[in-house]
């Protein structure tokens, strides 16, 4: 006899969770806009000739579709190779061009998947925010006169690592606001997996940077390791 009331209570709870996630998403949109506006005034590195920045849009789209789904206990997380075009962009294009390539590439991915939703909006805003954060950290740490030195590698790793850590925290907050139950152990395991994947992706991105910097004609060889790594990811998931 109490079933209608129970249904109304569940519907009210679900609505509150949705509103909470939307509020967090809108907050991230505002922060991402402010963060992006703050980095676009920065100048890029003095890199040698490289493909036009519009090619980064293609890399962003390809990287977003090179996805592997890993399940940690009760929650499934998606690993992409999004850090590779970001690392290349940090070295070869201006912050404005890197932000624009991310916006255009992610917009194309959303349209191709035909999934304009709360989840896609959150992911879009989060990616722009974390990319802007990567740009700021990278330019604070890199030695502009010698960007390919060890300090340049550390700057790139710190930039992508910080971005992924912040993104992981935001993901956990979203799961919690949506009414999900994510234990500390689950959040820790997911963060560790994301950080390890980011370290590998950043390394692949740095290989591509070295090849583009020294010999543009042979840079296509840098495409081989990401596909091999993707196959390794998926073989690992299949074994699990």
User: By C-alpha distance, which of 163, 42, 160 is closest to 95?
Assistant: 42
The number of residues making up the chain comes to: 240
Question: What tokens appear for 206 in the block?
Answer: 């740095």
Q: Rounded CA gap, 179 and 184, in Å? A: 15
Helices (H), 40-117: 55-65, 83-92, 95-113
Close Cβ partners of 180 (under 8 Å, ≥ 6 residues apart): 75
**CA 24, CA 156: separation in Å to the nearest integer?**
28
**Distance from CA of residue 66 to its chain's centroid?**
12
Pick from 155, 164, 128: nearest CA to 36 = 128
Interacting residues of 42 by C-beta distance below 8 A, sequence separation 6+:
94, 95, 135, 139
Per-residue pLDDT of the chain (240 residues; tens, 9 = 90+): 444 544 444 444 456 667 777 888 888 888 888 888 888 778 778 777 666 788 889 989 988 887 766 665 555 556 778 889 999 999 988 899 999 999 999 999 988 887 777 777 888 888 899 999 999 999 999 888 888 888 899 999 999 999 988 888 887 777 777 666 666 676 677 777 778 888 888 988 898 888 888 776 666 676 777 766 666 666 665 665
Q: Tell whether pTM > 0.85.
A: no
CA distance 236 to 68: 10
């Amino acid at each position: 006899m109490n079933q209608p009331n129970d249904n109304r209570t569940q519907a009210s709870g679900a609505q509150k969770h949705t509103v909470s996630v939307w509020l967090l998403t809108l907050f991230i949109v505002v922060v991402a806009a402010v963060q992006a506006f703050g980095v676009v005034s920065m100048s890029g590195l003095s890199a040698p000739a490289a493909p036009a920045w519009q090619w980064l849009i293609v890399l962003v789209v390809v990287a977003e579709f090179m996805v592997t789904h890993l399940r940690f206990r009760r929650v499934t997380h998606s690993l992409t190779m999004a850090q590779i075009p970001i690392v290349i962009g940090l070295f070869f294009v201006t912050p404005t061009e890197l932000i624009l390539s991310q916006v255009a590439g992610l917009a194309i991915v959303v349209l191709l998947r035909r999934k304009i939703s709360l989840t896609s909006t959150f992911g879009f805003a989060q990616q722009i925010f974390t990319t802007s954060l990567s740009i700021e950290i990278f330019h604070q740490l890199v030695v502009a006169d010698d960007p390919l030195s060890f300090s340049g590698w550390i700057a790139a790793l710190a930039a992508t690592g910080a971005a992924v850590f912040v993104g992981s925290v935001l993901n956990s907050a979203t799961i919690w606001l949506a009414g999900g139950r994510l234990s500390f152990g689950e959040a820790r395991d997911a963060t560790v997996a994301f950080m390890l994947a980011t370290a590998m992706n950043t390394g692949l991105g740095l290989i591509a940077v070295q090849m583009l910097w020294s010999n543009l004609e042979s840079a296509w060889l840098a495409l081989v390791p990401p596909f091999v790594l993707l196959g390794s990811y998926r073989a690992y998931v299949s074994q699990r």
